[in-house]
A and B are shown apart, each in its own frame.
Chain A
Amino acid sequence: MIIGLVKGVGETPNDFEFVTSDISKMSIGDFVTLEYEGMEIVSRITDCRPITDYPPIMYSNPEISPSEIALILGDEEKELYLVTATILGYYDEERGEFINPRIIPPQGARVKYASEELLVKCLNRKTSRIGTAHVGYMLTRRDIEVPVYLDVSAITSEHLCILASTGSGKSYLAGVIVEELLSPKNMASVLIFDPHGEYHTLTEMMSKNEFSSEWYSPQVEVIPPEKIKIRFSELEVSDISASLPEMSERMEMLLRRAYERIANEPIITRAMLKKAIEEIANEKPEMSNTASALLWRINRSFEQSRIFDDFEHLSLQRLFSPGKCTILDLSTMGDWEQQMVALIVLRKLLYARMATEKGIAKGENYLPYPVFVILEEAHRFAPRSGESKAISIIRRILAEGRKFGIGMCLISQRPSKIDGDVLSQCMTSVIMRIVNPSDQESIRTSVESVGREVLKELPGLTKGQAIVSGRAVNTTVMIKVRERVTSHGGESKNAPEEWRKYLENKRKEETLPPIEEDIPVLRS
């Protein structure tokens, strides 16, 4: 369907302007095509503004539209709009990408509304069932649903970030992605670090037919905080040192010497380390004060925290397996404990995958399949400023994980608080409503795939709407997230309703009459 004619080039040679009278289809972010030089060029609408310049006085009566007055005056032309579009190029099916012809569209070229069939084909890198994650539908097409699929191999090798302000639906979307990853078409191995304990509803996948095939059914395991254990011997001496507060040089030296004494033991316990420290103090009485201070710190950090155990731990085989989603519920842990869990699990994972790929893995280190890790509240684990035990391993996985089959999904409501290097390694981004200017700026500088025109759209998105860009799709596209099959575990609380319910129950218990419905109006 022809909707307009090209007027000329826009601000850059990649932009062009066309004139149309059909505003109904001119959604920012939607796609049009034009044919020239034998190619069907796909372009994205980036701006639309009226060019019928009515005098301001024609807007003086809110009940009469300027076009009504213009019509009486004999202007029977429809209102015209100047639309700016950015050329993506023609879609090369063999290469599966857009190729910009670098030819300026001729004036007067006919602009068509891109057909749904073309969009399904050219927006998505893959449309086959295997290896795709159906995350939603094009936001700008309301009449016919145009599905948008993420290329699962792209997000699991080159990482993904989901950025949105609170209440925009980012954990809902993460749930959708996990559903897709665990469905029979992907059968992925997924681990979720869940600081709010809101992913437990994904266990519903095990009982829903949508996720099962003849021989496949996904497994979902929620590991509660009290069952999350780090074996003390999984800590390196540098981890122990970094976890102890206000360490002096003498304490540092003493710790390393004590650790060296027991380093070759198959299992290192806290008692063994403390004993080694005491032995050194006995041998060198001048170290006894340092030893006491060091032992006090070790007790404080490693004995009082419930996550450390001398023998128990989370094996990689329990955490990772194709067709399994493991959820680490970190909800009752402090920041330091959450970071330590992330550090140890991710480090073990990286080393295991490296060893497996090199063919030198043994026992628990043998992990012969790629994995996908979802890190909720990523700014807690990889902050831009402040300390985090896990940041260096996260940086390393994001930089090197692709080679070893470790994909990460970072989720955050404060992109400005996430380490810039970490964010810039996520080659696919799903960005939802973000109003805060510093967060927008952070996205602009750190997320490679996000263009200027996308940033303009961020404040205008509503709950459940997102902008997907980067390697997992062929071009930036605005979507409405599809409905989840499982229920959402992170719904906001309706506080007034819950307060009222609480008091009503209390009155029932005290056999008092119910609360009067006639609520008085407060006046100042």
Chain B
Amino acid sequence: MEIGVIIGSESHMKYVVKVFKENEVKEVPKPEDCSLGKFVKIGEKIVGIISNTTIIDPDYGRRIYGNVEELKMFIPDYLDEREKLLSVVAIGTKERQGVISSTPFVGDTVRLMEKNEIKSFHEVDGKLRISYLPYLYEEPLYDAIVSEIVEELSSIFPERKSVLEGVRKMAIWQRMKEVYK
């Protein structure tokens, strides 16, 4: 399912994605499709993870009365300019986890990954690997992102649930240690 499009980047690893709205795609992504920790594919090869969300209101909160139909008719630009943006950290390509060599470009489509794609991305020589966490560590919501990753992977690799739980605990502990140091 396509959820957005690349509109810019903050670094080699981190990209800004504008979430599709009505009329842009057939199936408009629901809020839960764009939530933290979702695995996404940028273009054909690059694998990323949603690390943050921002929204833009061009009218800075000015109240405009009227129902949606009326607003569409009288001030359509206002609705067009309200955006939901996602931060996506590139965590590898479909072949391997790690720093990407070729970067996505503006306009590349971003879509949610299927379970089987997530499984194959996380299997290295038939064994579960999550070697990309260091690239997410600087994210303000690092522990929450790891929790979401663990949740997702536990459903795909139920036999590794307890080890994944250890990974989650460690992420929370690392963040707690930083906050309360």
Interface set of A (CB-CB < 8 Å, partner B):
55-58, 60-61, 63-64, 68-69, 71-74
Chain A: minimal CB distance from B178 (Å): 12
Closest to A63 in B: B162
- A60: chain B residues at CB < 8 Å are 166, 169
Q: Please give, as numbers and ranges, the residues of chain B lying within 8 Å of A61 by CB-CB distance.
A: 162, 165-166
CA distance A329 to B162 in the complex (A): 66
Min CB gap A74→B, angstroms: 3
* Contact pick for A72, options B164, B169, B173, B174, CB 8 Å: B164
Q: What's the least CB distance linking B117 to chain A, in Å?
A: 19
B130 sits at the interface (CB 8 A): yes
Collect the chain A residues with CB atoms within 8 Å of residue B99's CB.
Answer: none
B173 lies within 8 A of A74 (CB): no
Tell whether B71 is near chain A: CB-to-CB under 8 Å.
no
Chain B residues in contact with chain A, CB under 8 A? Answer: 97, 127-133, 160, 162-167, 169-170, 173-174
Pairwise interchain contact B129-A69, C-beta atoms closer than 8 A: no
How far is A61 from B166 in the complex, measured between Cα atoms in Å? 7
- Contact pick for B162, options A64, A71, A74, CB 8 Å: A64
Partner of B163, one of A56, A68, A74: A68
Distance A63 CA – B164 CA, assembled complex (angstroms): 13
Contact residues in B for A69 (Cβ distance below 8 Å): 163, 166-167, 170
Q: B163 to chain A: which residues have CB within 8 Å?
A: 64, 68-69, 72
Residues of A within 8 A of B166 (CB): 57-58, 60-61, 64, 68-69
List the A side residues contacting B169 at CB < 8 Å.
Answer: 57-58, 60
Question: When the two chains form the complex, which single residue of A55, A64, A73 contacts B130, counting CB atoms closer than 8 Å?
Answer: A73
Q: What CA separation (Å) do A58 and B160 show in the bound complex?
A: 15
For the complex, give the distance between the alpha carbons of A72 and B129 in Å: 4
A72 B162 Cβ-Cβ under 8 A? no
In contact, A55 and B131 (Cβ under 8 angstroms):
no
The distance in angstroms between the C-alpha atoms of A72 and B160, with both chains bound, is 10
Bound CA–CA A58/B168 (angstroms): 10
Q: A72-B129, A74-B97, A74-B131 are in contact. Are A55 and B170 (CB under 8 A)?
A: yes
Shortest beta-carbon distance from A77 to chain B in Å: 12
**A233 CB, min distance to chain B CBs, angstroms:** 84
Query: What are some 26 contacts across the A-B interface (CB < 8 A)?
Result: A55-B170, A55-B174, A56-B173, A57-B166, A57-B170, A57-B173, A58-B166, A58-B170, A60-B166, A60-B169, A61-B162, A61-B165, A61-B166, A64-B162, A64-B166, A69-B167, A71-B127, A72-B129, A72-B130, A72-B164, A73-B130, A73-B167, A74-B97, A74-B130, A74-B131, A74-B132
8 shortest interchain CB distances as A-B pairs: A74-B131, A57-B173, A69-B166, A64-B166, A57-B170, A57-B169, A68-B163, A64-B163
Q: Which residue of B lies closest to A75 (CB)?
A: B131
Taking the closest CB of chain A, its distance from the CB of B92, in whole angstroms, is 11
